[in-house]
Structure 1
């Protein structure tokens, strides 16, 4: 059994994992999928998010209070900032760090540094709140409407704080979704992995794969956390 802590991306909440959870539970795994402060059912608290540490504190406390060890931390998109930072905070409790189309800055860099062309000038104000973008026209209309009814603004502050290095002993796994737009921050992460000749997987899905391809995402998570061989697979170049 693997203990998964699933951390959603920007504008989403714990609800973004609602279709992945049953697959993991059916396979015998323990699953936690909280909504970050200021997101999902906690959207009214968005002004309380003054920086990345607020979310890192939240997920760290969840792991500690639930007495979790050998955790697989899974970060989708902006959630990669949180999971990477939590792994650096409590490495003794983390076995796997899984990045799904995730924003994972190099150690000491910030999410804004992953933007095409580098950090924007000027930077967004720390107390700014970024409105959720419109759904992609390529999405199924019914899903797009369901999704639009749930997304909420996200705080800019979390993108302005540096992310620490992943400690030795925490196994990292990277996966990217083939239909994600090239301007998303994860594209810069993928380019860095290519330059460093580090391995990753590519799933034939869009950026919202946890909702649009949940069975495939769940299977990928199981493979990452049960097979060392799977984690070393290289994507086609």
Structure 2
């Protein structure tokens, strides 16, 4: 079977599963993309696989295995929040041309050696939030409302959130020299009317437009795929339809 022309892998953030992309899948297919919503080990419908050794490398392997199983090339990786760390790790393992584009969606922008604890502004709070479930260190589910979802969506998200394996936020990410050569880099920042200057990843200094990065703002809550799925799909289509030339 031939590889789809526009494969797009959607990687969820902490505590989320592939379920969070539900509202975007049909619209993406209607625009000619082949979206794959990943659920990372220990989360969502794979919560029964939670174990002490589930870490960032496990989650990177989850995505690598999907790409291998589906025989995908020229992939656009969309990493939401924590998923941006996973997307960067996958890019470093596969590189161009297997990965065409790396899209950070309201995510940290890591460099070699970073972990979630070191790269996020609230990282120092995470050790205090750690708890243990069935012998496994986890971060307990947060409040859905803080993720920018409302009404019925907030209730749905709240009941779907999973304890997040703690080892994933302490694992350092290995990004060797040249890890993103030839891969288009895109950043989408989610903002509301109250936080233009104070988004979840307020330090945007690593988004380097002089090096060919493209940067966009999307008016939505942090969980854009739930809060503003139509706008997000339109923006992803704009990003992918106007590919930049990458050296």
Answer whether TM exceeds 0.5 for this pair.
yes
Where do residues 1-237 of structure 1 align in structure 2 (5 Å cutoff)?
1-47=5-51, 49-91=53-95, 92-116=97-121, 119=124, 127-136=136-145, 139-165=149-175, 166-179=179-192, 182=198, 184=200, 186-188=201-203, 190-193=204-207, 199-228=214-243
What is the aligned-residue RMSD (CA, Å)? 2.8
Question: For 1:221 and 1:136, how far apart are their aligned partners in 2?
Answer: 24
In structure 1, the residue corresponding to 2:189 is in which secondary structure?
strand
CA shift digits 1:163-221 (9 cap, x unpaired): 2334201111001001396373x223x24337988641110111011011111111111
Greater displacement, 70-79 / 196-205: 196-205
Q: Structure 2: 5+ residue runs without aligned partners?
A: none
Number of residue equivalences: 229
Question: For 2:88 and 2:58, how far apart are their aligned partners in 1?
Answer: 14
> Could you state the TM-score of these two structures normalised by the residue count of structure 2?
0.82
Q: CA deviation at 1:140?
A: 2.3
Greater displacement, 172-181 / 216-225: 172-181
CA shift digits 1:19-44 (9 cap, x unpaired): 01111101111111121111110112
